[in-house]
């Protein structure tokens, strides 16, 4: 742990946080399991990353992030209607599914309504249009490894690649 580093581009940062919307806890880190991210690589929402710039280990802050600097405003244009025949086995309202973009990337959407032979899908992020409030504490900051910089995200707390156990 380095107390002389401050949060800046290409630093790996460990944070403890609680995210609330209108006083309701939406997400939080668990004790001893901080969020690990690579600053400047787009791993966090822009508004939170901007507020963390220059902070040091031990800093605690309370931050409110408007939708434009979080997951964007809710967009009516992100609602699409599909034929139900495109969905084998049916769908469930409120469930998240994935559509493949022309470039092969997967785009999540939430089913908001099922009509006779149509599915109404919302491609907005679930937190779009929401003002987010974070309570954040900076736990650790370190230099990113070359591999982390190449990959655009952090690996383990010590910089080694993390592999999920199956």
Delimit the CATH 3.10.50.40 region(s) of the chain: 11-71+130-151
CATH class (in words) of the domain with range 76-122: mainly beta
Q: Is pLDDT of 109 > 70? A: yes
Which tens digit of pLDDT belongs to each residue from 20-37? 999 999 999 999 999 999
**Which CATH number is correct for 11-71+130-151, 3.90.1300.10, 3.10.50.40, 3.10.129.10, 3.40.228.10?**
3.10.50.40
Which tens digit of pLDDT belongs to each residue from 143-158? 999 999 999 999 876 6
Delimit the CATH 2.40.10.330 region(s) of the chain: 76-122
CA-closest candidate to residue 70, choices 7, 114, 131: 131
Q: Is pLDDT of 54 > 50? A: yes
In the sheet with 79-83, reading across from the earlier edge strand, the strands are 79-83, 118-122, 106-115, 96-100
pTM for the predicted model, two decimal places: 0.81
pLDDT at 34: 96
Residue identified by tokens 């822009």 is 46
Percent of the chain at pLDDT > 70 equals 92
Q: CA–CA separation, 2 vs 23, rounded Å? A: 33
pLDDT at 156: 77
How confident is residue 160, by pLDDT bands cut at 50, 70 and 90? Answer: low
* 32 to 29, 36, 49, 157: CA distances (angstroms): 8, 12, 22, 12
């Amino acid at each position: 742990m380095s107390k002389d580093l401050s949060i800046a581009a290409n630093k790996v940062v460990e944070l403890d946080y609680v995210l609330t919307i209108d006083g309701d806890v939406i997400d939080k880190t668990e004790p001893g399991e901080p969020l690990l991210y690579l600053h400047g690589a787009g791993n966090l929402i822009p508004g939170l990353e901007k507020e963390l710039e220059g902070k040091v280990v031990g800093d605690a802050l309370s931050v409110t992030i408007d939708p434009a600097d979080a997951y964007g405003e809710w967009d009516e244009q992100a609602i699409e209607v599909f034929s139900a025949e495109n969905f084998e086995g049916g769908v469930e309202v409120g469930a998240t599914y994935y559509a493949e973009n022309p470039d092969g990337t997967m785009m999540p959407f939430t089913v908001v309504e099922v009509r006779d032979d149509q599915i109404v899908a919302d491609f907005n992020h679930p937190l779009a249009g929401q003002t987010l409030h974070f309570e954040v504490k900076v736990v650790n900051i370190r230099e990113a490894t070359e591999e982390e910089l190449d990959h655009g995200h952090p690996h383990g707390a010590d910089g080694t690649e993390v592999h999920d156990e199956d």
